[in-house]
Structure 1
């Protein structure tokens, strides 16, 4: 069993919910749809379930659903949303059918005039008689055919599981499984309706297949030439094994291939859950779940002549031991298909996808590529093309836990590159309750409209959302940095989005630092850093784009650290007289703040540790009471513990000034007096010596 982690996702969902409650008005200016999804009706009584959706051909959509507003039985209602998400058919939708008992399982197609043709299953008598009904609703929401719809077949017993496609002439082809022959055995029938609701084939439908045993769950696709491919699950071999069969019918309802259809897969095992698409060029691709080994997925391509194009009994899409379910497919635009499915044990499934080309060759990894491998269960996959060879996939996702299921989406390119996050992007993750049973329709290149049933209010309602290329924005990841206090610094965050800019805010150690601010894709935000306070700070940016899709928050660790040593000026030596008033003009400076200093005098403590202020003159008082030479030395450090270089000043305290000529005594210059005495002594000595020589 896969074990997957969700702490990160849950944390992000909590954060973004706070934002959107406060700032949802911002996005209304840039994206016309409500950022938290549009409810298709304002009715709060009862329940609305099982929505289906198509494009209206003008950038909007038409949604149909089962509705309990009139009591305990389901009725059919519809709503049209324009390209801005505005409801066009009244705030509560338009009534399609409100017959007695249940109307259920609606399907719809475009009428090529801005409206829709809707088909559904109606319970005439519980567990006895079901019929197929249809109704056309015009572009303004008015039903055009008989009130509550026209009955497609009036036969007894059960007609079930209708499937519908447009006939490209304002009408529709409809197929269903039919029990009219009794014995709990079903056959496949079809009917064509024109734009006015008239049946163009046999009154109760044309036979597509009435082989022995049972044929069920028909699916239909256009042949591109006013006919239709129909495929179904068939038990004609008997026993518990089911096969896949198909038939082509022309515009008149006549089968074109072998009576009762051709075998698409008659492998001696069970094949079920069949799906079909057309390339509108005379070929159809059929997909099914296959138990020939361990429960795999197979596909086959067939042309209008009934010749299969790939390997007999189908080409394998995926063959692994894990169970597969909810397989769906869409065209790749080149005759191939992109397939999505859920895989894994029940309640622990993931979403995978595969691309097969027109020749039946797999284009991606043989076991498919991972679309979502989050924890808990992902299921109910739906898929449509993106208009440029890729696909958009939606699914029901339980990663937030029980009773908190969300709808997620992923866009995938033809080469298998995913565009909307590693495990997809939540369409509307901000609400409690379950969002279930997603359906989607193509809107424009890279865009879809998604609808689902939603229990955020306690009841079950239908919501829709326009998803225009929901690739999440992303941020670069500036590294941690250390800066000096009071320096000018910035964080060079650059946010990137494939569509436009958005809004961001910055938290500093969990508190708001910058409030929500617009950003432009690719521009350097250069977020200024507060360097006035020492410490370690976590700067975290939260951001989304103008469509409301979120990037992964990025955190940068910023340390404001004082690493510069303080310094001192260097006063010169000085001589002072005893008992004079003098001071040393030391000035200590630092890049951030002050600190502490002390002064030693000839190595002994003179001033104990005292605080100093950056740039102020200390004016250290000198002791002039004692004669002598004194070394005054200042030791100091700043508030960050950085030490400056000690500075020493030589101070001499002397009694008098010894420079210049000495003063005279009683008017005589002592130098002249001494010089005279020396001169007289020298003369006398020489005279005495001279007299001795004469003798």
Structure 2
């Protein structure tokens, strides 16, 4: 079936809900009792999903709401739909949601429905509230091990890859959009001598997925960890060193550190983290090429060489020059904190001077919950910062740099929430309208309720008139029967300039299970079909051959 994954629904109507005042954020849920751990996922039409754990029943139930591009709740206002009321422990671990290529919301949770050990269950919820994998979801696991922090990675063919830790082992499982296992056997499991932990995923080329994880080096919970990457083909076959590509093998990664990974657009990956080698916290980045070889200095490039300063908890984005990375800073006794940024080129050279650029100077009110976004070709960072004089109440802020490292906004820091209140950990995503949408628990109403706010690429709050990119296959038609194997693929691209000299990016074309090819022209593209059913997928890529976020795609089935 053809999936036109991007629908133009961005008119600014009288129902627009995005507030323009940072003191008047949008209330999503005010159930009695606490709401916690919100998650966001962007949709192709410019809206988003908001999910959270809700204690109103006395159990931490899972709720989900869908907002359109104007911030208008689409389901049972104001608190969305109940996804799961299965028994949950009062001590929560992290969890995950994502939107797949058909705008279904994928949720991965752990709960105690089958016992106190916490097993992983996943759900797929359609845009019209359909429970596509059943009312109780699909059980990824059912064992006696403790399984925290499941991770989700949607793939461009509609599959979903899940990764999670069970005690000292790591598991990967891949499902189709219909919930059917792809791997045989269904779950890939591995461990190392003292256990592995902290899985993170990145979708890669030709249906492959890259996994980042830590390998513990001793028998104690506090023992240091080393950082590794693995790459798996669509069928689960290892593509790199089957024992993992070593990224950082000095001691220094502790239990609180959460390395992450980005696809580099060329078959490889950028790994980024912070560690305490030499008992000093610094941030690092490493590049692994398509062959699985480490390319930069052993154990990573230190992003900031500032003397008498610590760097922690980075967030990175792939950009045309290489990698932009934002990170917390602190003085050596950690009595003051701030926020800095650095740009590394494809060879690991620091482009924004050796000491990076300062976003928020060191002060008694540190910054944290740092998250970076590529927003309309500029680099935006969203973060929390303690309110003046408080170590409890926080403000939510954002700042944006040009590709040259120059602040784009006046003032340079904008507030998404200027209400001085205690807040839980926020979560944010970016939509095709170039709006960053953040959700967080907020105690301004006495108990923790869920609020959301958007910020546009120009630093304004509230609705905007940005038109999202769109790609549509006009020929052949979906389910068309053709009598000649040689056809011309005809597609149209809207609100994104594809041109050999001055374009914003490229179009990826994938026929069946062949490797995707790219073009910088909107022109008929010749394809040769096989006998029977053929799948054609087109997708818009940016200037570094990365999929847009969320992905902008279209597909047809053609029979020859």
Fold similarity call, TM over 0.5: yes
- Is 1:154 equivalent to 2:124 in the alignment? no
The alignment partner of 1:355 has SS state of strand
What is the CA deviation profile of residues 490-539 of structure 1, one whole-angstrom value per residue up to 9, with x for unaligned ones?
Answer: xxxxxxxxx99xxxxxxxxxxxxxxxxxxxxxxxxxxxxxxxxxxxxxxx
The partner residue of 2:201 within 220, 228, 236 is: 220
Q: How many equivalent pairs are there? A: 436
Q: 1:203 to 1:95 in 2, by over 3 A?
A: farther
Q: 1:259 aligns with which of 222, 242, 252?
A: 242
The structural deviation recorded for 1:79 is 1.0
Query: Is the partner of 2:136 in helix, strand or coil?
Result: coil
Structure index of larger Rg: 1
Counterpart selection for 1:241 from 224, 227, 235: 224
TM-superposed deviation, 1:305? 1.6
Whether 1:281 aligns to 2:269 is no
Are 1:69 and 2:53 an aligned pair? no
1:169–1:60 CA distance, 2 compared to 1 (3 A): same
Choose from 27, 51, 56 the match for 2:38: 51
Question: CA deviation digits over 1:372-391, x for unaligned, max 9?
Answer: 12551221111111141x32
Q: Aligned-pair distance for 1:257? A: 2.1
Deviations 1:63-83 (A, max 9, x none): 111111221x31211111101
Correspondence for 1:90: 76
- State the Cα distance separating 1:39 from its structure 2 match: 1.8
Shift of 1:221: 0.3
Residue 406 in 1 paired to residue 399 in 2? no
Contact 1:44 1:459 in 2 (8 A): no
**Residue 444 of structure 1: how far off its partner (Å):** 3.9
Contact kept in structure 2, 1:387 and 1:444, CA below 8 Å: no
**Secondary structure of residue in 1 paired with 2:156:** coil
Distance 2:430 2:17 in 1: 18
1:33 match = 18
1:229–1:259 Cα change, 3 Å = same
CA–CA distance in structure 1, aligned partners of residues 218 and 289 of structure 2: 24
* Aligned counterpart, 1:340: 326
Aligned to 2:517: none
Secondary structure of 1:219's partner?
strand
Question: 1:238: how far off?
Answer: 6.5
Q: State the Cα deviation string for residues 178-234 of structure 1 (Å, max 9, x = none).
A: 23xxxxxx1211000111222222566212x31110211110101122011001111
Please point out which of 281, 291, 297 is paired with 1:305: 291
Question: Take 1:212 and 1:319, find their aligned partners in 2: how far apart are those partners?
Answer: 34
Give, in whole Å, the separation in 1 of the partners of 2:334 and 2:65. Answer: 34
Residues 371 and 28 of structure 1: CA distance in aligned 2, closer, same or farther (over 3 Å): farther
Query: Partner residue of 2:450?
Result: 462
RMSD: 2.6
Question: Which residue of 75, 87, 104 corresponds with 1:100?
Answer: 87
Per-residue CA shift, 1:651-674, capped at 9, x if unaligned?
Answer: xxxxxxxxxxxxxxxxxxxxxxxx
Q: Would you say the 8 A contact 1:66–1:105 is kept in 2?
A: no
Distance in 2, Cα, partners of 1:462 & 1:225: 38
Taking a change above 3 Å as real, the CA distance of residues 457 and 210 of structure 1, as seen in their structure-2 partners, is same
Q: How much does 1:421 deviate? A: 4.3
1:295 matches 2:252: no
Match of 2:104 in 1: 115
Q: 1:434/1:267 Cα in 2 relative to 1: closer, same or farther (>3 Å)?
A: same
Q: Among residues 382, 387, 394, which one is paired with 2:382 in the alignment?
A: 394
What secondary structure is seen at the aligned counterpart in 2 of 1:112?
coil
**Cα distance change, pair 118–360 in 1 and its aligned pair in 2 (3 A):** same
Name the CA distance, whole Å, in 1 between partners of 2:16 and 2:149.
38
Q: Please give the secondary structure, in 2, of the residue aligned with 1:225.
A: helix
2:313 is matched with which residue? Answer: 326
* Match in the other structure for 1:187: 169
Q: Which residue in 2 is equivalent to 1:201?
A: 183
Distance 1:66 1:46, change over 3 A: same
Q: Tell me the SS of whatever aligns to 1:105.
A: coil
Q: Give yes or no for contact 2:152–2:161 (8 Å, CA) kept in 1.
A: yes
Helix, strand or coil for the counterpart of 2:94?
Answer: strand
Summarize the Cα distance change of 1:333–1:97 in structure 2 as closer, same or farther, 3 Å threshold: farther
1:325 CA drift (Å):
2.5
Task: Report the CA distance shift for 1:114/1:426 in structure 2 as closer, same or farther (over 3 A).
Answer: same
What is the alpha-carbon distance in structure 1 between the residues aligned to residue 93 and residue 133 of structure 2?
19
Q: What TM-score, normalized to structure 2? A: 0.73
1:473-512 matched pairs, under 5 angstroms: none
RCO higher in structure (CA 8 A, sep ≥6) = 2
Scaled by the length of structure 1, the TM-score of the pair is: 0.59
Alignment of 1:628-639 (within 5 A): none
Offset of 1:125 from its aligned partner? 7.1
Q: Flag the 1:317–1:30 CA change in 2: closer, same or farther, 3 A.
A: farther
Distance (whole Å) between structure 2 residues aligned to residue 202 and residue 459 of structure 1: 47
Task: Tell me how far apart the structure 2 counterparts of residues 359 and 234 of structure 1 sit (CA, whole Å).
Answer: 27
CA distance in 2 between partners of 1:213 and 1:466 (Å): 43
Higher strand share: 2
Report the Cα distance in structure 1 between the residues aligned to 2:228 and 2:434, rounded to whole angstroms: 34
